[in-house]
Structure 1
Amino acid sequence: MLTTLCTTDDAANSGAFLSFSGDGEDEAVDLFAEAQKSVDETEAAAQQEEEDDEVEPEDDFNAAWEVLDLARAIYEKQQDESEEVKLKLAEVFITLGDVSLETEKFDQAITDYSAGLKLKTDLLPLSSRQIAEAHYKLSIVLDLTAGRLGDSITHAERALDSVEARLAELRAALSGQGLVKPPEQKEDAKGKGKGKATGPALLGDDAIVHMTKAQMEAEEKELQGLREDLALKVEELKTSPNEPADSAPALVAKALDQELNAGSTAGTVKQSEVHDLTGLVKKKKKNVDANGDATATASAATTKRKAEDNAEEAQTEKKAKLEDPTS
């Protein structure tokens, strides 16, 4: 107790109310450095998060593909049990095609879309929007594949036919001319009523019999715009070139090849023209040489004649002098 009082008194005499051991030995804190360090850590964390986001989509697609492929294997084993299972299998194929399309695996997407479309065509009526959707997706991926433009146009036209059939049924139902009824199931040999109906049996969740009047009117308006878009798409595909447009590097390379070929051709033409002119020049030189040779020959002959004439005159004069007696 005395020690405590003494300590308190000493602290009071020294003017300090609280005392912490080691205060004098603490190092000074650089607040600016600490703040900068915090900013750097935040930026590094943000950059790492962006990198994770860039890698994440591919990982998500791979995970989705694995799950869907597993579902495909399960449904394929059970598809003979009911048509509902087959329809689920068709949906799995269509979704697998979506994943392949997003990852630009076009050949695989064509395979999956085609398998799903075949199943849906066997199970659903032409007026089902699922049929139109499957045809349209297959048309898209075929348009992105070289040499498949004709097939793309075919499926786009079939998607348009499906939409028009859907519109016709909606208008018939709205006008009261008749509603689409679900197909009746045929009884099997055991009389359980689980036999398969002939032809497209399932109507799916988008069946008109499941819709109210307001829903039918809203869908009719929607399908009118969709039909116009599909018609424009068909015309666009029909007027597009048979092959997809070349990329920018390919276009540049093609332009360079054309320029080089044009320059080479022009050089060949110019070279042949120079050779022709050279031949003409050589012929002129030969004519000049021939004329020169003839002139030189004629000049030599004239000189020779003059020398002979002079010699004869000199000999005549000499003879005359010898015969002249006066000399």
Structure 2
Amino acid sequence: MSDPSSPKPADAPAPSSSSSIDPQAIRAEVEKLVAEGKKAVALHQWEQGVDRYATALDRMRLLVGDADPEMAPLLLAYGKALYDLASSQAGVMGREEPVRQEDDVPAEPNNPNFVFSGDAPSDDEGAADEPEPEPESEPQASSSSAPAPALGTDAAEGDEMEELEDDYNAAWEVLDVARTIYQKIVDGLKEGEGNKERMLLSDCYLALGNVSCETENFPQAVQDFTAAVDIQNTIMPPSFRDLASAHYQLATALEFTPSPQSRTSALTHVESALSSLVRRKEELLSSDESTWSEAIKKMTPKEKEAEMKDVEALMGDLQAKIEELKAAPPAEDLIHESISHLMGQTEEASGSGSNKVESGPVNDLTSMVKKKKPKATPVAPAPVSAPVVEKRAAEGGEEPAAKKAKNDEA
């Protein structure tokens, strides 16, 4: 991480003295930058969104320290934008991206990209309510006129993959700093207090899990998604749609985890997601307002009708997924289990091997919209002083797979 005493970027010169700092003006500028960042992300302009959030962080550091609670929302939004930017570049480089799913439209039964619209979006996602323009179609070159591969293509692709890993690692580190700050905030709360802060901590874990899935570090993703589910289970009603989404994200990560028991665990969490939606449907059908959650109470009759259609469609998809998981496991799972048995491996040993699972492309589990765009220069995370960053490895967790590979090479 950069030294906090290092010179500021050209567009953010450090003041000559404390008396020249106008806190009110700086906060107004930060609010403007955050609003621009939200809008850019909503319009799929990932690079611009990353730039706005990074500048907002630089400005805010003139007023508060790196570990100040006011930095946490900015770091969370910045980390998510970095993740979106890296994911969009992955599409440009040929990695498969999920098909764009319209909000709250259920995916196919075998598609992990279920869209569970949240009951109460976090503060840093306010721009999601703004209308999003349809992405312009990109010209496609015909196969007959495609140029022959240039010499050095493999080397160039290798460099691009290394840059992509750096982008995901940057997103992971920024999100982990936000998680550290929110964890300290939550640790200082009494039981039953600070549901908003607890949900933001859950949001950090979900975002970290997404990054770990993209880097194919599924054991770490399972750890983070589990933490998110545990938090939401303690503070949210069973009918909370974000809770259903978190259960499904965890189930999907478990499916890619090399453990004979992971399929059974995945089934349990898909069933939990379905149970949450069943509760949601019961609330929508109930005429007793005392049984309604706050989200249901705020809905108009038309919104309730649309919600019911969405819930029923998602329930059908989850039921299909449950039947799939209850069926005989794929042949490769049976082979893995047989080999593990013959080698005398325990469940823990078989699950502690390589982080990289030979499987299909990993899709975005929170249904964030991704769009192909021209290759952009990787954006480094905002400077954060070393004491703030509490490495997950020291806490018993794991680092992103891409980062661990680099460390091994060193």
Q: TM-score, normalised by structure 1?
A: 0.50
More helix by share: 1
Q: Which of these two proteins has the greater Rg computed from alpha carbons?
A: 1
- Structure number with greater CO (CA < 8 Å, separation at least 6) is 2
